[in-house]
């Protein structure tokens, strides 16, 4: 049986004392010494894993001052800290075995926008896309572009001097920094900006640390100007951090921000930034040029640069192939067609270049575009070119860039244990030498038998190369050192850099060699800022003789995962391949991913956080000698009553405070809405709801379930009985005693039954219950016109009128509707981890549905998450041959558009899909639009997050407040703007319930609108 897992070691005494002192000094933010909170911060988007001692989440600049002042005390001289923003670094920049200082939770305000002067002031935790959303109404944007822009913080961008697509036009983050407000380790709050000579003299005259810093950097820059010019290569992606080459500009002004940008938190704690912003280009066009080979794409880039585009990005065939299986492909497939007339295996491009033109004038953009497209058309299929397409306008261009942005995550979806990993992925060489450099790079990987994927910024000479290595295999660990040193050699040969974009971090061991005789100057700068080497030590430079981190001297995530037995890794595969890319930290409230993280800003309540906790839990189980796979099999065979006394004893012990590390995992999993947005939007397809169900099954093998779980798990089985006496059920639920009883078991905001008798209403319509015999008795034509509506407990019991409307629509379109016999779907069982019962329910229901489908009739489900259960949860429990085929309503309509009449009066509608439907069945949504368009109706699918109900989550008393907070982040504004018009539609039962509960608005279903217009047309 599942053992009690002892808690992991607590933070070292020095760190506990430090946290206590911070509280005494009035620290207003959050302090996290617990194991779970530390575990989720032990990884970033790199291959490394370092457990911090604790984490601090400052709320204000004053909190940063408190941290600095306490650290300055002699008793805390050995304490180490690392600032952290979005945690998306690929080189371990924010990882530490000390204290994490994370500004992304609370310091997230856009403080001031000055549109007239073109600048903005923000706190360090503001996300890049969040800033641009705030600037958009002013027609402005912050230009450095990143693939992680929806979760990367401004503080992180400054700390790595981040840049990406478009850097040749817009430069790097440093080029847009006007002022930085930094807290130094003596507690000084210092605002750095470009200084005129007299201002520099004033700063140098200060007797504090600010004065020492200015004196040191000024002297180094003056005395070693010739050496600096020789050591810093003249690249778009030049050496960042401690950037002595850009200390003075052409006007002689002193720019200490050039030292701070890219310093990776080794010099101070960044609190605020004042940034230059630019007008948004009003017009854009993107040429998508396909090639026979990736080498041809690289070599052609120099020719393409002659057409003066804003940027040129490249993607190889591996990334394109993975994109084809992602949600993003539906939006971009038309831009990357297979070639006609080619052999099957050669129809797809082996590489593409994406060439963008932007401007304030459509004529200018079109003129620049025409120069290129005319040249491409005249040249034909030369230089390895196959053909091209053009994307125009914001929507089309953004869709292609979204695909390119996903390249990092898509590579993580490569199947097998060998996955492309980042450790040599951001080298920079002169663009004219890129193709030759990459040819040697590929030869080095090929010689070692390594697969890889490539994408990047060919205009800047930066190509992201991720070799596929299984770091769970000890024999492959040595490849990290071997390949890295080979790449260091190649970058030197071609006049480039090992770190061209993503910072140094763990790769700082190469600083002395790259900076050469300048490295002592870097050490002197570090000593001026941080003489005790407390700030992110081991990165970039150390004062005195301190050690730098090495690529094989930091613990690897693969080594931790190695402790989990192979069969257990396979059983929990849906979460164990999380690579830390952080897509689940998406800032955008109008994006479904991830509602619990958006509501809490706590990384434990994110797919990445939950995956990290699950991995740690599985490692602990392995250390205790427990096989969770075998335990799950035992639980599904055993009687729950047999273990009841043991589970009761454990539950009582838990209430008395008995420690068990499993409780922290349970707390994180309880916050999951099971909306499945992670499955659809995570590029790795991390499936937390599936892992959550497996965890809950095992957890409740040791501890008793709350009564609520049993009530929810039985609701589908009880639904037919409740529908036979709706008045009594509603009276009980609505009574004071009933409400008190529901609160006692932890349920809130419970709905009432519709009161309509579904069987009687359908009988009046002549609709029969479908059986294989009844369907087989029809002739072939009638069977082909038969549509069997697969019931779900929630719409049948609580939205009976909508179910009847679906039957009326099917009949009105000339088809014959049938009602499938009622059987539980099982989704509530799966959500709460009753996996044994779920499997039995799924097998019985699937067998019945397959028999109906075998007659030739079409099966259709009304509620999206319940219908999609047949494709997702059923696929995890049954063999492929056992799965039933049940269409979503829009999928069925899409097959029969000709049956739809033109509406009597054109009208425009807006649709809020269920988040499970939006993210895991995105390809089905155009079916609604096509059906409405066929009727002469407009339908726009609104961007939105989760409604917060997500099945049972919003009915659970302890989650009700969070559920409403999630609703308020996105859905509330849409409902307030258009809900009362009757033109705002929703496909999910839970979504319509939430809108009614919170906003008092009853949202129609698209079926009801089509039915109404069908009647009007008749």
Task: Copy the structure tokens of residue 768.
Answer: 């029969």
Alpha-carbon distance values, 147 to 409, 504, 507, 562, 922 (Å): 10, 19, 22, 30, 22
Task: Copy the structure tokens of residue 127.
Answer: 């996300």
Count H helices and E strands in the chain, helices first: 49, 25
Tell me the mean pLDDT in the region 772-779. Answer: 95
Residue 545's pLDDT band, with cuts at 50, 70 and 90, is: confident
- Whether the per-residue pLDDT at 421 is higher than 60: the answer is yes
pLDDT at residue 196 in the model: 95
Instruction: Give CA–CA dist 396/390, Å, rounded.
Output: 9
pLDDT at residue 319 in the model: 86
Instruction: Give CA–CA dist 820/774, Å, rounded.
Output: 12
In the chain, pLDDT over 90 holds for what percent of residues? Answer: 79
pLDDT at residue 27 in the model: 98
Instruction: Give CA–CA dist 271/273, Å, rounded.
Output: 7
Residue 55's pLDDT band, with cuts at 50, 70 and 90, is: very high
Instruction: Give CA–CA dist 867/229, Å, rounded.
Output: 64
pLDDT at residue 787 in the model: 98
- 545 dihedral zone (left: phi>0; alpha: psi -120 to 50; beta): alpha
Give the torsion through C-alpha atoms of 387, 392, 397, 400, to 10 deg: -30
Q: What are phi and psi of 389, to 5 degrees?
A: -130, 165
Task: Convert 868-879 to b/e letters by CB count within 10 Å (16 or more is b).
Answer: bbbebbbebbbe
Cis peptide bond upstream of 175, omega within 30: no
Specify the pairing of strand 786-790 against strand 816-819.
Answer: parallel
DSSP 254-317: B-THHHHTT-TTSS-EEEEEEEE-EEPPSEEEEEEEEESSHHHHHHHHHHHHTT--SEEEEEEH
Alpha-carbon distance values, 429 to 354, 491, 500, 777, 824 (Å): 20, 7, 8, 73, 61
Higher pLDDT, 999 or 322: 999
Tell me the mean pLDDT in the region 198-222. Answer: 94
pLDDT at residue 414 in the model: 77
Q: Measured over all CA atoms, what is the biggest interatomic distance in the chain, rounded to whole angstroms? A: 98
- Whether the per-residue pLDDT at 1017 is higher than 70: the answer is no
Tell me the mean pLDDT in the region 577-591. Answer: 93
Beta carbons of 124 and 103 less than 8 angstroms apart: yes
Instruction: Give CA–CA dist 100/563, Å, rounded.
Output: 26
Tell me the mean pLDDT in the region 546-568. Answer: 94
DSSP 8-state secondary structure symbol assigned to residue 896: -
List, in order, residues 6 or more apart from 992 with CB less than 8 Å away: 799, 986, 1002, 1003, 1005
Beta carbons of 276 and 119 less than 8 angstroms apart: yes
Q: Which residue has the tokens 């007239």?
A: 116
Instruction: Give CA–CA dist 789/807, Å, rounded.
Output: 8
pLDDT at residue 1018 in the model: 56
Task: Copy the structure tokens of residue 53.
Answer: 């001692």
Alpha carbon distance, N-terminus to C-terminus of the chain: 65
Q: What are phi and psi of 279, to 5 degrees?
A: -65, 140
Tell me the mean pLDDT in the region 559-568. Answer: 94
Task: Copy the structure tokens of residue 286.
Answer: 């993107």
Residue 9's pLDDT band, with cuts at 50, 70 and 90, is: confident
Locate all alpha helices (DSSP H) within 287-392, ordered by sequence: 294-305, 317-323, 329-332, 362-379
CA nearest 247: which of 174, 150, 328, 341?
174
Tell me the mean pLDDT in the region 363-368. Answer: 94
pLDDT at residue 546 in the model: 81
Residue 341's pLDDT band, with cuts at 50, 70 and 90, is: low
Instruction: Give, to the nearest 10 degrees, the angle between helix 835-853 and helix 688-699.
Output: 130
Task: Copy the structure tokens of residue 163.
Answer: 């840049």
List, in order, residues 6 or more apart from 549 with CB less than 8 Å away: 92, 505, 506, 507, 508, 509, 538, 539
Instruction: Give CA–CA dist 794/800, Å, rounded.
Output: 9
Alpha-carbon distance values, 9 to 33, 39, 76, 321, 661 (Å): 10, 12, 21, 44, 11
Alpha-carbon distance values, 104 to 123, 244, 579 (Å): 9, 29, 20
pLDDT at residue 683 in the model: 85
The alpha carbon dihedral of 51, 55, 57, 58 has a sign of negative
pLDDT at residue 406 in the model: 77
pLDDT at residue 388 in the model: 94
Tell me the mean pLDDT in the region 668-685. Answer: 93
Task: Copy the structure tokens of residue 324.
Answer: 């084809």
DSSP 803-861: HHHHHHHHHHTT-EEEEPPP----HHHHHTT-HHHHHHHHHHHHHHHHHHHTTTPEEEE
**Mean pLDDT over the full length of the chain:** 93
Instruction: Give CA–CA dist 568/619, Å, rounded.
Output: 10
Residue 240's pLDDT band, with cuts at 50, 70 and 90, is: confident
SS3 at position 580: coil
Residue 394's pLDDT band, with cuts at 50, 70 and 90, is: confident
Strand order in the sheet with 99-102: 30-32, 54-57, 99-102, 81-84
Q: How many CB atoms lie within 10 A of CB 371?
A: 14
pTM as predicted: 0.94
CA nearest 1006: which of 940, 948, 951?
940
Write the pLDDT tens digit of every residue in 124-180. 999 999 999 999 999 999 999 888 999 999 999 999 999 888 878 888 999 999 999
CA nearest 912: which of 959, 978, 866?
978
Determine which of 343-347, 434-438, 789-793, 882-886 has the lowest per-residue pLDDT on average. Answer: 343-347
Tell me the mean pLDDT in the region 110-134. Answer: 98
Residue 475's pLDDT band, with cuts at 50, 70 and 90, is: very high
Write the pLDDT tens digit of every residue in 695-741. 999 999 999 999 999 999 999 999 999 999 999 999 998 999 999 99
């Amino acid at each position: 049986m599942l053992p009690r897992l002892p808690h992991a070691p607590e933070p070292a005494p020095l760190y506990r004392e430090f946290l206590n002192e911070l509280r005494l000094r009035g620290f207003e933010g959050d302090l996290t010494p617990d194991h779970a909170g530390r575990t989720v911060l032990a990884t970033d988007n790199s291959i490394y894993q370092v457990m911090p001692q604790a984490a601090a989440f400052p709320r204000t600049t004053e909190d940063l001052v408190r941290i600095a002042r306490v650290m300055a005390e002699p008793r805390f001289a050995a304490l180490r800290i690392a600032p952290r923003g979005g945690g998306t670094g690929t080189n371990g920049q924010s990882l530490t075995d000390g204290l994490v200082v994370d500004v992304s939770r609370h310091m997230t305000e856009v403080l001031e926008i000055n549109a007239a002067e073109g600048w903005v002031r923000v706190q360090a935790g503001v996300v890049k896309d969040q800033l641009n959303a705030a600037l958009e109404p002013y027609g402005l944007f912050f230009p450095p572009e990143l693939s992680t822009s929806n979760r990367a913080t401004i503080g992180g961008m400054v700390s790595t001097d981040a840049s990406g697509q478009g850097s040749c036009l817009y430069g790097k983050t440093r080029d847009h920094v006007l002022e930085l407000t930094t807290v130094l380790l003596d507690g000084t709050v210092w605002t750095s900006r470009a200084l005129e000579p007299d201002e520099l003299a004033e700063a140098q005259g200060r007797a504090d640390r600010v004065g020492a810093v200015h004196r040191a950097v000024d002297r180094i820059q003056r005395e070693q100007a010739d050496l600096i010019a020789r050591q810093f290569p003249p690249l778009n992606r030049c050496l960042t951090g401690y950037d002595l080459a850009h200390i003075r500009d052409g006007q002689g002004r002193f720019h200490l921000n050039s030292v701070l940008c890219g310093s990776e938190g080794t010099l101070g704690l960044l609190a605020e930034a004042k940034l230059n912003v630019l007008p948004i280009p009003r017009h854009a066009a993107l040429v998508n040029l396909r090639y026979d080979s990736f080498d041809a794409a690289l070599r052609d880039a120099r020719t393409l640069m002659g057409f003066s585009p804003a940027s040129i990005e490249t993607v190889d065939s591996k990334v394109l192939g993975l994109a084809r299986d992602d949600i993003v492909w539906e939006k971009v497939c038309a831009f990357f067609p297979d070639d006609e007339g080619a052999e099957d295996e050669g129809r797809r491009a082996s590489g593409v270049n994406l060439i963008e033109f932007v401007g304030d004038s459509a004529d200018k953009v079109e003129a620049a575009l025409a120069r290129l497209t005319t040249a491409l058309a005249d040249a034909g299929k030369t230089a390895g070119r196959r053909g091209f397409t053009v994307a125009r306008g914001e929507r089309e261009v953004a869709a292609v860039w979204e695909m390119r942005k996903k390249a990092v995550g898509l590579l993580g979806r490569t199947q097998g244990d060998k996955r492309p990993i980042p450790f040599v992925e951001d080298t920079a060489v002169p663009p004219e030498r890129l193709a030759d450099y990459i040819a040697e790079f590929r030869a080095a990987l090929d010689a070692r038998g390594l697969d890889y994927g490539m994408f990047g910024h060919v205009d800047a000479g930066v190509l992201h190369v991720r070799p596929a290595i299984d770091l769970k295999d000890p024999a492959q660990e040595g490849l990290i050192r071997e390949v890295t040193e080979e790449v260091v050699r190649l970058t030197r040969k071609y006049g480039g850099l090992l770190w061209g974009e993503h910072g140094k971090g763990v790769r700082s061991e190469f600083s002395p060699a790259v900076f050469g005789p300048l490295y002592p100057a870097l050490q002197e700068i570090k000593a001026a800022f941080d003489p005790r080497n407390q700030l992110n030590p081991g990165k970039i430079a150390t004062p005195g003789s301190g050690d730098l981190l090495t690529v094989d001297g930091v613990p690897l995530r693969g080594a931790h995962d190695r402790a989990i037995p192979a069969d257990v890794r396979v059983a929990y595969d849906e979460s164990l391949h999380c690579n830390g890319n952080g897509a689940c930290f998406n800032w955008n409230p109008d994006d479904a991913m991830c509602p619990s993280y958006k509501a809490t800003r706590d990384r434990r309540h994110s797919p990445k956080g939950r995956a990290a906790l699950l991995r740690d839990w599985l490692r602990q189980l392995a250390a205790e000698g427990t096989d969770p796979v075998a335990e799950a099999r035992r639980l599904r065979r055993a009687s729950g009553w047999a273990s009841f006394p043991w589970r009761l004893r454990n539950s009582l012990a838990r209430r008395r405070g008995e420690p068990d590390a499993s409780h922290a995992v349970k707390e994180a999993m309880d916050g999951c809405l099971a909306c499945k947005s992670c499955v659809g939007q995570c590029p790795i397809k991390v499936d937390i709801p599936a892992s959550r169900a497996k965890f809950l099954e095992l957890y409740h093998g040791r501890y008793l379930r709350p009564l609520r779980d049993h009530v929810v798990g039985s609701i589908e089985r009880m639904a037919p009985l409740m529908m036979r006496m709706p008045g009594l059920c509603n009276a009980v639920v609505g009574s004071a005693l009933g409400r008190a009883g529901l609160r006692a078991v932890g349920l809130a905001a419970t709905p009432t039954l519709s009161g309509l008798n579904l069987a009687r209403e359908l009988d009046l319509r002549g609709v029969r219950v479908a059986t294989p015999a009844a369907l087989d008795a029809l002739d072939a034509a009638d069977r082909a016109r038969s549509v069997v509506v697969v019931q779900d407990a929630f719409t049948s019991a609580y939205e009976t009128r909508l179910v009847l409307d679906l039957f009326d629509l099917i009949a009105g379109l000339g088809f014959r509707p049938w009602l499938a016999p009622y059987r539980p779907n099982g989704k509530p069982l799966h959500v709460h981890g009753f996996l044994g019962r779920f499997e039995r329910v799924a097998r019985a229901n699937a067998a019945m549905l397959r028999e109906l489908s075998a007659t030739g009739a079409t099966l259709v489900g009304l509620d999206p998450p319940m219908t999609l259960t047949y494709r997702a949860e059923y696929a995890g429990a049954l063999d492929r041959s056992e799965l039933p085929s049940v269409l979503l309503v829009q999928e069925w309509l899409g097959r029969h558009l000709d049956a739809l009449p033109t509406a009597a009066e054109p009208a425009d509608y807006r649709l809020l899909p269920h988040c499970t439907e939006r993210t895991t069945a995105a390809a089905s949504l155009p079916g609604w639009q096509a059906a409405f368009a066929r009727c002469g109706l407009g339908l726009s699918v609104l961007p939105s997050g989760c409604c917060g109900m997500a099945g049972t989550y919003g009915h659970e008393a302890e989650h009700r407040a969070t559920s409403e907070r999630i609703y308020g982040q996105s859905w509330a504004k849409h409902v307030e703007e258009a809900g009362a018009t009757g033109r705002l539609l929703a496909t999910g039962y839970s979504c319509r319930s939430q809108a009614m509960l919170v906003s008092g608005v009853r949202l129609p279903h698209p079926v009801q609108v089509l039915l109404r217009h069908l009647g009007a047309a008749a």
